[in-house]
Amino acid sequence: MQNEQPTPPAGGRFALVGMGRFNVTRENVSVSEEMQQVYKMTPPVSSAPVPVSIPSPSPPAPSPAPIPEWMDGPRDATALPVICEAVLATNVDEAELAIKELFRIMERIELEQHLEVVEDCFQAISWVIQGKSGTETTGSMVQAIMDPFPFIFAVCYQYPSLQK
């Protein structure tokens, strides 16, 4: 009995649903008007290939700004003048990186041996704070200046020439 294939009843169709068999004939099936409208609007299924539009490749994204030369240079007092100039760069990202690197270097060097360069660095930082640097001062730049404030105050207190 299990190997027998079910045969449809005369005049109708059948379907296997779950574990039982249900005979479906025109007499015992009612379809709402709404479903009939949906059936009429549904396009017939076709075996023809559907054309697929492949989008043209988008142009390559613009390359980011080139890496500043000072990024590959030494991280000591000899790099301070170049990094000080980068603080005033028109590229906001470069200026932000330069501010952070400027303070990292100043915290590691003997400041009294390089007071003239340190004074130039503080002048560049003050221009950024005042908005005179030629680039828009961003929140990240302000944060990069605010983080080392204890260091800035300690240096200015220790060296009166930097207090202006």
Each residue of 118-132: pLDDT tens digit?
999 999 998 888 888
Alpha helices by DSSP H, 42-114: 80-87, 92-108
| Whether the predicted pLDDT of 65 surpasses 90 | no
* Range in 8-22, 46-60, 85-99, 150-164 the model is least confident about: 8-22
Phi/psi for 21 (5° steps) reads: -110, 140
Q: How much is the pLDDT for 16? A: 45
Phi/psi for 76 (5° steps) reads: -140, -170
Q: How many residues does the chain have?
A: 164
Q: How much is the pLDDT for 23? A: 52
- pLDDT band at residue 18 under the 50/70/90 scheme: very low
In the chain, the N- to C-terminal Cα span, in Å, equals: 103
Find out whether 159 and 112 touch, Cβ atoms under 8 Å: yes
Mean pLDDT, rounded, for 124-143: 86
| Whether the predicted pLDDT of 97 surpasses 50 | yes
pTM confidence score: 0.58
Give the C-alpha distances (Å, rounded to integers) separating 133 from 90, 91, 153.
8, 11, 22
Q: How many helices (H) and strands (E) does the chain have?
A: 6, 2
